[in-house]
């Protein structure tokens, strides 16, 4: 994937994120930047490393724990970083790209390898690129038959009035 495409989509996502971009940060690298790419891949869990090393772009999303204004605590930092990431995913999807988010990584290793300062917390890693051929997926990470996967019913997590009372909207 050409770096220009990734750069264009990151800039479009930044524009959408104008209000929340200051509450989060991204560290990105492409396979063309071999040393940086390997450092980021070294933060991944073993299961994610197997396939994510084939992605053209790796992204680390980071929450900023304090606001610039008066250095006040941002108790919604993870939410803000999640919104910024979701906007990146929407923008990438609109451009025909795919993003896969991963919780399987070492935040402490990322802090060490990328010299992330105090007040910032790595929260997820992502791949950005085009869908690969499913038949190329290593057998050890195939998650069974996708047709057999079960989604939780909305009644299990969409409530009204109080916890556990299913909403009439569903």
Residue 87 within any structural domain of the chain? yes
CATH number of the domain bearing residue 7: 3.40.109.10
Task: Tell whether the model's pLDDT for residue 137 goes beyond 80.
Answer: no
Tally of domains in the chain = 1
Residue 142 within any structural domain of the chain? no
Distance CA 156, CA 141 (A): 28
Q: 126: helix, coil or strand?
A: strand
Residue 157 within any structural domain of the chain? no
Beta strands in 35-119 (DSSP E): 57-64, 98-102
Distance CA 68, CA 7 (A): 26
The first and second tokens of residue 157, run together, are: 């997590």
Residue 67 within any structural domain of the chain? yes
pLDDT (tens digit per residue) in 32-84: 999 999 999 999 999 899 889 889 999 999 999 888 778 888 888 899 899 98
Q: Which residues contact 5 (CB under 8 A, 6 or more apart)?
A: 95, 97
Residue 80 within any structural domain of the chain? yes
pTM of the model: 0.78
Give the domain extent around 30: 3-134
Residue 113 within any structural domain of the chain? yes
Q: 154: helix, coil or strand?
A: helix
């Amino acid at each position: 994937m050409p770096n220009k495409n990734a750069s264009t989509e990151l800039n479009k996502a930044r524009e959408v994120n104008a209000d929340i971009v200051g509450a989060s940060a991204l560290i990105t690298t492409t396979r063309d930047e071999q040393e940086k790419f390997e450092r980021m891949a070294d933060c991944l869990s073993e299961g994610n490393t197997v396939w994510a090393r084939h992605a053209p772009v790796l992204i680390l999303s980071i929450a900023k724990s304090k606001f610039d204004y008066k250095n006040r605590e941002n108790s919604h930092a993870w939410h803000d970083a999640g919104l910024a990431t979701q906007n990146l995913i929407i923008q990438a999807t609109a451009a025909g790209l795919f993003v896969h988010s991963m919780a399987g990584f070492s935040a402490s290793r990322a802090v060490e390898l990328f010299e992330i300062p105090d007040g910032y917390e790595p929260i997820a890693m992502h791949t950005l690129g085009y869908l690969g051929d499913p038949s190329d997926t290593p057998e050890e990470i195939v998650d069974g038959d996708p047709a057999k996967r079960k989604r939780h019913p909305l009644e299990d997590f969409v409530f009204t009035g109080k916890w556990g009372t299913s909403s009439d909207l569903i």
